[in-house]
Chains A and B, each alone.
Chain A
Amino acid sequence: MIYLDNSATSFPKPKCVIDAVNESMMMYGNYGRSSYEMALKTTEKVYNCRKKVARFFNASTERVIFTNNCTMALNMAIKGIAFNGCHFVISDLEHNAVLRPLEALKKCGICDYSIAKVERDVYKTIQNFEREIKKNTVAIICTGASNVFGIIPPYRYIGSLAHRYNLKLILDASQIAGVRKIDLKKDNIDILCCAGHKGLYGPTGIGVFVLNDDINLNTIVEGGTGSNSLSATQPELLPDRFESGTPNISGIIGLSSAMDFIEEKGVDKIYNHEISLIKYLQKNIEFSNDIIVYTNFFDKGIRRVPVFSFNVVNKPSEEVAALLSKDSICVRAGLHCAPLAHKKYNTDKIGVVRVSPSIFTKKIQIDFTINSLFKIAK
């Protein structure tokens, strides 16, 4: 099997992650609730992961909150910061994980939102965002990188703009974490939401919600935290405030090993490996009149993560993915839960075929994919 759907979920997982998850099932129990040895060991494991995630994004350990996935983290951020009559500005590349919570709030009459266009020109992009800011705007939500076209919006400058207007920047880091360095402080990010199972190589069912500072956020889930149990009120202290119920301990322990794996490989090395494969793929198929490439990785004017999108002329993207699948090549086609990005590129009716490699992808697998594509495009 040739797996090129790492933007959805990275596969295979590093052996150290598989071993850690297996070990967690055999050796670790609940955390933060009890004093017996296994509970304390589990607590230490969870804490160690929190520490690694904090270091990775340059945040404080207690401001790293574990969630089920990035969608949950984004819901926590959006619904936690929203108040009656507020307004958000989002980019035109956002995933449904951003769009749908906002639409739900809008339907309830709680908030409204505007969409700002991301352009080639950084200055124009910032102007577009600034134009959409209103008196009641509370935050700008921006993806770290488009999950369809790989475009990296200038989020550091967008964060700077947000802060000038006393707004918060919420970053959806799902596609960028693990391939580009992210520093909450340098990048002006107030809330970072990220999946653990994509570029971070962790198991599914684990995500992180990282706060840069003490931000006044409402909770969307309340319950047992193992702290202040006699009080009926949710604790104020982080991370407890946002971590009700038993977390995904195996997921956290797996993510902890995954963080070690990334640290050992190096984010730049992972990025360079994947980009070189994408460029190789593009170079070999872009000359074809039967293939439409949407992501030009040789254009130095646009920063991208290694997500490559294309279509075969006169063939629906889903059909191309199904045909590739017959050759055991795994890609994602369709709309990728990102209708805004597809509308921007006029691909909302047809979708695109998306190729996303990982550190484990080999050049020979890309060769095989190229051959298979030319068979399909004939």
Chain B
Amino acid sequence: MKRVKIKFSSVTHAMNAKDIIQKNGGRVSIGKNTNPGMNEGCGYFLIVIGEAEKIMKILKINSIKIVGYDYI
């Protein structure tokens, strides 16, 4: 399975997303960028095991705003 790193603007949104992904059976951990860029919000990210499209769809349905995501 792929690992997706999702970046957030606010730690509250990151925690909210963590909750929602876990409720949907996803495995997720939270971390913080060591050097967040200008547009990388709070620097908090989630590492999720799964398909990015599916995860993004879940987050979108729940109105969770993200800064971006990458496969790692």
From B9, B15, B19, B30, A227 is in contact (CB under 8 Å) with: B9
B63 CB → nearest A CB, Å: 8
Q: Which B residue sits closest to A63, measured CB to CB?
A: B12
Q: With a CB–CB cut-off of 8 A, which chain B residues contact A50?
A: 12
Q: Which residues of A contact B65 (CB under 8 A)?
A: 237
Q: Are the C-beta atoms of A227 and B31 separated by less than 8 Å?
A: no
Task: Tell me if A40 and B30 are in contact (CB < 8 A).
Answer: yes
Q: Contacts A32-B42, A227-B42, A231-B38; is A237 near B31 (CB within 8 Å)?
A: no
Q: B10, B36, B63, B65 — which one has the most chain A CB atoms within 10 A of its CB?
A: B10
* Nearest CB in chain A: distance from B21 CB, A: 14
When C-beta atoms are compared, the residue in chain B nearest to A241 turns out to be B10
Interface size of B as a range: 20 to 34
The answer for the CA separation of A35 and B44 in the assembled complex, in Å, is: 8
Q: Are B16 and A34 in contact (CB under 8 A)?
A: no
Q: Within the complex, which residue of A44, A225, A238 is in contact with B15, where a contact is CB–CB below 8 Å?
A: A44
Contact with B along A23-43 (1 / 0, CB 8 A): 000000001101100001001
Please provide the chain A residues from 211 to 263 with a CB less than 8 Å away from any CB of chain B in the complex: 225-231, 235, 237-240
Q: Is the CB–CB distance between B10 and A240 below 8 Å?
A: yes
Query: Is the C-beta of B56 less than 8 angstroms from some C-beta in chain A?
Result: no
A-B contact count (CB 8 A): 57
For residue A47, CB closer than 8 A to chain B, the reply is: yes
* A147 to B6 alpha-carbon distance, docked (Å): 47
Docked complex Cα distance between A344 and B21 (Å): 53
| Alpha-carbon distance between A62 and B17 when the two chains are bound, in angstroms | 11
Cβ of B60 within 8 Å of any chain A Cβ, yes or no, is: no
Q: Count residues of chain A with CB under 8 A from any CB of chain B.
A: 25
Which residue numbers of A lie inside 8 Å of B, CB to CB? 31-32, 34-35, 40, 43-44, 47, 50-51, 60-62, 225-231, 235, 237-240
B42 proximity list for chain A (CB < 8 A): 32, 225-228, 240
Chain B residues, Cβ within 8 Å of A40: 30
Chain B neighbourhood of A225, CB < 8 A: 42
B11 within 8 A of A: yes
Q: At the interface, yes or no: B3 with Cβ under 8 Å from chain A?
A: no
Contact A62 B16 (CB under 8 A): yes
Known: A47-B16, A227-B42, A237-B13; 4 extra A-B contacts, CB below 8 A, are: A32-B11, A44-B15, A47-B15, A230-B38
| Contact across chains for A61 and B12 when beta carbons are under 8 A apart | yes
Closest 6 CB pairs of A and B: A35-B32, A227-B42, A47-B15, A32-B11, A230-B38, A240-B10
Question: Closest residue of chain B to A35, judged by CB?
Answer: B32
Q: Nearest Cβ in chain B — how far from A65, in angstroms?
A: 10
Instruction: Name B13's closest neighbour in chain A (CB-CB).
Output: A62
How many Å from the CB of A89 to the closest CB on chain B? 32
14 CB contacts below 8 A, A to B, read A31-B11, A32-B44, A43-B11, A47-B15, A226-B11, A227-B9, A227-B41, A227-B42, A231-B38, A235-B9, A237-B41, A238-B12, A239-B10, A240-B10
A99–B31 Cα gap in the complex (Å)?
45
What's the minimum C-beta distance from A325 to chain B, rounded to whole angstroms?
Answer: 44
B38-62 to A contact mask, C-beta < 8 Å, 1/0 = 1101111000000000000000000
